[in-house]
Amino acid sequence: MTEWNKLVDRERKTVSPRVFTDLEVYRAEQERVFGHCWLYVAHETQLAHAGDFVTNWMGEEPVVVTRDLTGRVRVFINSCRHRGMRVCRVDEGNTRVFQCPYHGWTYDVQGRLVGVPQYQESYYGELRKEEWGLLEAPRVESYRGMIFASFDAGIESLDTYLGEMKWYLDIVLNRTAGGWTVLPGVHKWTLKGNWKLAAEQFGGDNYHVTAAHESMGRLGLVPPGKTSGDEPWVRDFQVRTDKGHGWINLAIADPPAITESIGAYQARVQREARQRLQPAQSALVGCAHVGTIFPNCSLLFFAGFLTVRLWHPRGPDRMEVWSWGLVETDAPPAVAALARKMHILTFSPSGIFEQDDGEMWGECVETMGGVYRRRFPLNYQMGAGHGRQDPEKPGLIHPPSTEIGVFGFYERWHALMTESQKGER
């Protein structure tokens, strides 16, 4: 039996290996965490027109995210109400109906069951179609283009859920009036490893950069260690926000502009960003940013591109990463093309940074699940008790490196895992 209250030790700042390896923990997590959080499902630029749809996952539930004919975004469980067959079998498109290929039940983009073959002959006209529409996530809300959905009808608003994280997200999402546009296509790859190891790294682990990405350091492409003096508190820091979200601010200069026009665009965007943002946010323009929105959505802004990704759970020791590339909507083609190429070179499945991370998460779960090893917890003590409040910034600030933000992720996770199991069936 799992002793749920011992999985995370809030006093000692440790986490049990079972959190990453145990099937019973994993199954409970699907309900208690993925069933009661806001989960990222799509970006508004993927659903420009009525009838546009993309498929995705919310935890282990396949969903289809659609803009219906009234303009409202809806998130349907991609499963026919009759036998459960997948009703939408392509990754993206535009449609007026979703027709199940098994027996032909047909739903409109509002999710209503509108077509039942042999309705008179075999159902005698008695099937109450209005009761058998597609199941849908009861809550769908968006924040600056990012659409989230929740299975929990009673969950707090997305705005409240994001909490202090919004202030940091805005530095990236509110840089320009035009915002971000998703490039076509999705990077999808499976990795050995528990999804939380990836989420925690983006949410507050820049400690790994020097070692895990040592190859990039040796090529002179990662700045050496942390800076000294007061600068770390100002531009080179990590944040523990409320609700388990984490943010990393890295004082890495933008890469040198390859052409004059790219340089001019970068300068213009930075000027616009400084005008749009509050002064304390403006001071962070020109940095790289990495963050995790609890539980499994991460962002990375670096070298002019933004990647938004989901760490889809696929069992305790497996994850499937879905990662989108975004460029600034008003970026000239040459700027967008460069951002796209930088994204592919650095943080795609072949990325010269990304590859290293994928290696670590797999071997962590491979080794820590043994009957002896799993008795001994993992250490998340770095920086505990040394965070600071900053009058101008929300959250608890700490220069690199610290694990107070990462541990906040696990405290949030643990709270959900141990709360009364609301709505569990």
Binding region for other proteins (CB under 8 A): 89-93, 183-192, 212, 214-219, 320, 324-325, 327, 336-337, 340-341, 343-345, 348-350, 352, 355-356, 358-360, 362, 366
Provide the minimum distance between the beta carbon of 173 and other proteins in the complex, in angstroms, as a whole number.
Answer: 20
Give min distance, CB of 374 to other proteins, in A: 19
Residue 27: CB minimum distance to other proteins, A: 23
Nearer to other proteins, 7 or 191 (CB): 191
**Residue number with CB closer to other proteins (240 or 343):** 343
Shortest spacing between CB 218 and other proteins, in angstroms: 4
Instruction: For other proteins, give the closer residue by CB, 118 or 215.
Output: 215
Show Cβ contacts of residue 361 under 8 Å, excluding neighbours closer than 6 positions: 191, 192, 193, 194, 197, 198, 201, 319
Identify which of residues 252 and 280 has a Cβ nearer to other proteins in the complex: 252
C-beta of residue 96 within 8 angstroms of C-beta of residue 108: yes
Bridge partners of 345, per DSSP, are none
Q: Which residues 6+ apart lie within 8 Å of 108 measured at CB?
A: 69, 96, 97, 114
Please state the closest distance from residue 348 (CB atom) to other proteins, in A.
Answer: 6
Taking the least distance from each CB to other proteins, the nearer of 320 and 411 is 320
Nearer to other proteins, 232 or 358 (CB): 358
Question: What is the spatial distance between Cα 380 and Cα 414, in angstroms, rounded to a whole number?
Answer: 14
Question: Least Å distance between CB 358 and other proteins?
Answer: 4
Neighbour-count burial of 323, counting CB atoms closer than 10 A to its CB (0-12 exposed, 13-18 middle, 19+ buried): buried
The residue among 31 and 328 lying less far from other proteins, judged by its C-beta, is 328
The minimum distance between CB 192 and other proteins, in angstroms, equals: 8
Residues near 200 by beta carbon (within 8 Å), at least 6 away in sequence: 246, 292, 406, 409, 410
Residues 161, 142: Cα–Cα separation, whole Å: 12
Determine phi and psi for 167, rounding to 5 degrees.
Answer: -60, -40
**Closer residue to other proteins in complex, CB, 9/44:** 44
Strand 8-9's sheet: what is its strand order? 8-9, 14-15, 378-379
> Minimal distance in Å, beta carbon 58 to other proteins?
18
Q: Rounded CA gap, 222 and 255, in Å?
A: 12
Distance (Å, whole) CA 180 – CA 78: 27
| Token pair for 363 | 């071997």
For the record, the structure tokens of 375 come out as 């008795």
